Every structure is written in C-alpha cells, then in structure tokens.
Amino acid sequence: MPLFGTDGVRGLANGPLTADLALTLAQATAVVLGQGRSAEARKAAGKRLTAVVARDPRISGEFLSAAVAAGLASSGVDVLDAGVLPTPATAFLIADMDVDFGVMVSASHNPAPDNGIKIFARGGVKLPDVVEARIESAMSGPKLLPTGAEVGRIRRFADAEDRYVVHLLGSLPHRLDGIHVVLDCAHGAASGVSPETFRDAGARVTVIGADPDGLNINDGVGSTHLDKLAAAVVAHGADVGIAHDGDADRCLAVDAHGKVVDGDQIMAILAVSMQERGHLKDDTLVATVMSNLGLHRAMADHGIRVEQTAVGDRYVLERMDQGGFSLGGEQSGHVIMSEYATTGDGLLTGLHLVAEMARQGKTLAELASIMTVFPQILVNVTGVDRARVDDEGVQDAVARATAELGLSGRVLLRPSGTEQLVRVMVEAADQSVADDVAHRLADVVRERISL
C-alpha cells in the first residue's frame, strides 16, 4: 500500500506513524527535493538547502516535528522551526522566504491520536504524485549524510506568525469594522493567529474552541462540528460565525440565525465579488464533482463558468494551475484563492467572506441567497466491488434516474479510493425525491456488484 495518501502521509501517531518513519521520510525528502535545478544552483553557490517546519498543537506533533527537523538537519538542510502554525501559513512562508521546501505536521480535521506529514515544494505548492513516489522510493535507498560543518542547523522562526498576519491583512479589499464575528478555532493551529487577525482587521471577535491542550483538537468543535458555533452566534447576537478545522485550511460559516453556509455557498459569494472587481480569471470557478447543482445554476446566472474536477483539493489546485484560474474549492470548505495562497486557507477565506459583508453592507444570509442549495443525499453502499461500477445494469439504472430527474437534479456514482464501497449521490429539487432515487440506485448497486 502506498505511503502517501490524498494529502501527505497520515496515520495513528506512534502506530504506523513513528518518529523513525518521520525521520527517514525527512531524509528522503531532502534527497529528492535537493535535486531540482534551483536547489542545485543554491548548493553550487555554497548555500545549504533551507526548509520551514511547522505543526498543529496535537501532542504527537512535538516528537514528530522534532524527528522531521532532525532528519532534515542530518541531511544538511537548515531548518526554520515555525512552531504551531496553520498549514496555509506554512505554505505561504515557504514562498515568502524563498526557501527550498517545507513540512507541516498535522492530521487536519482528524482526532488527536492521529497525525500526518504534509510536504510542500518550493513556492509552497503540494507535491505531484510522481515526486511523492520518488520520495517513498528514496526512503529505502542509501543516504550519504554530511558530517562536521556540513550538517544543517535548526533555528526558531521567530516572526513566522507576524509575517502571515501581515500578508492576510494586506489581501483584504475592505476592513471588517462594525461586524461581530464568532470564531471557532477547533482547538487547533489557528487558535492564536485567527482571533488576532480578525481583530486587527477591525472585527469585534468572540472566540470559542481556542484552548488547545494537545488532546482536544477537533473534539466536538471546528468545521466538522458546527452546532456549538451556531449556538454561540445566536447566543451572542453576532453577525457571523467562522469555523476552522485543526490545521485551518478549511472555512465554513454560519449566519446570524445559526444556519450553515457551506463551501459551495462561500465560493458563490466570493466568485461574484471577484468577478465584479475584475479578479476572477476568465470568469471561471473550479469545483469538484460533489459541488451542489445550485452552485452551477447560480454561477450560470452570473456568466461564470464552473470547471469540474475529481474530489480532493489537490485536483482543484492542479486544474487551477493549468488554467491560471483564481478561485476554486470544495463543498467541505477548502477554498483556494490563488492570488494570495497556494493551498486552501481557512483564515483567508473567512476574512474575505466577512469583508464582503462589510463591503456590501449585507448580512451573510442575504449574500448566501445568491445560491439555492438543492437537497442532496449521499448513500455509501458497502460490500461491493468498486472496480465494477461501470457494470451495464448499474449504468442503465443511472441513466434512468438521470432522465427521471431531468434538469431538476443529477446523479453521481463514485467508487471509494480506499474501501470496497461505492458512494451514490443524488440531488433533486425535493428532498423526498432525492432520497427515493438514491436508495433505489443503491439497491441496484448492491444487487449487481456485491462481493
């Protein structure tokens, strides 16, 4: 089974993800990423490779980031230790400092016992599959480690957070004065930097989920648990709630009534705003096949084209890079604004969403009404052969369901990338219709391709 998943290396800390693995992975990364043209030029000029290393606040991040830093320094790489910092901040600093690469130790929205290692290349971009494969191969190969003065140094990156805050504030088209924001930081990496930045931007801020103890990250709070945020917004009479996940690369929101505003709605608001201000490249938004039909309808109404990709922010990023597009993302809240970031950035997204409220003088509910969310149901059909999703009987059933829904809905069958299951997603103008079609399709899938 490949070491790298859809977003780096992830697993139970001190289970499969050990300090030894982190150290070896870091050494292999130094070997592979030290072979590029810019890295070779740096070495030819007598300069050592440099990398930024950061982590989220879960306790295992302490020993894993130490192992990563040790692996890099033992390979002759100078390490800038940024401490606890959001993933998008790490990506930004790699580009801002013009270093060779960076490593983020985080398991994002996973619970505290898990952890992960994300590697970014020069410029703060995620690695393509072929480079990850080369790193994995290099882990079992020989390593010619330097000695004496050639080993790397590990230094504290003292102003890492300040650089990131200045960058975020400089991106804003409008200040947030007069808006009361409740922030849920998921007891994660944004617990310090997000409240500071929103306050500096002019917002009145109430904070929940910002007391990380290493064990409570994502525990009943954050973008995957919005009930507490919704209740806090209503209780405090706030204008908007913003939720991050553990490493703050996601943003979801709730309006003043506690109603959830998801990633599709956030992208719709930002896309129209950017189009009006001349910042939406080629009037195009990049979204995954899971984005709601309502997003497509809303964008069409505003003359905005939607480019679709497979599920996963890496695929969104790839398409954005290919076309030079400026906005893309996922329903889950990974929103990428390529003018200011190389990856999903929950702080950047939240700030720009609230800035749009301030710029237009509208509530979030009013802004979100730009898009009608079609009822959507997702049914996971387990115990089936995912490789046979193209079965003639299954595809006939999909065609019949698609014809039945017409222009008022859509059907998507998606095999899991890791388990023997097929996901059946149906959208329709009416929830009961969506439910009925989805379960009928699920029955066909179960009957036709069971293991």
247 in a known ligand binding site? yes
159 belongs to an annotated ligand binding site: no
Cβ-based neighbour number of residue 115 at 10 Å: 28
Mean pLDDT of 324-331: 97
pLDDT reported for residue 407: 86
Dump pLDDT digits (tens) for 167-198: 999 999 999 999 999 999 999 999 999 999 99
**Catalytic residue IDs:** 108
pLDDT band for 35, please (50, 70, 90 cuts). Answer: confident
Backbone φ and ψ for 417, nearest 5 degrees, come out as -85, -10
pLDDT at 2 over 90: no
Domains observed in the chain:
9-158 (3.40.120.10), 163-368 (3.40.120.10), 376-448 (3.30.310.50)
Nearest to 436 by CA among 419, 411, 414: 411
Q: Residue 428's beta-bridge partner residues?
A: 409
Q: What pLDDT, on the 0 to 100 scale, is given for residue 417?
A: 72
In the chain, pLDDT over 70 holds for what percent of residues? 98
Residue-level pLDDT at 39: 66
pLDDT tens figures, 350-383: 999 999 999 999 999 999 999 999 999 999 999 9
Claim: this prediction has a pTM higher than 0.85: yes
Whether pLDDT at 81 is above 70: yes
Residue 47 pLDDT: 82
Average per-residue pLDDT for the chain: 95
Confirm whether residue 390 is marked as ligand binding.
no
Can you list the positions of beta strands (E) in 178-298? 180-184, 204-208, 240-243, 252-255, 260-261, 284-288
Q: Any binding-site annotation on 338?
A: no
Q: Give mean pLDDT, residues 273-298.
A: 96
d(CA 256, CA 270): 19
Question: Does residue 443 carry a pLDDT above 80?
Answer: yes
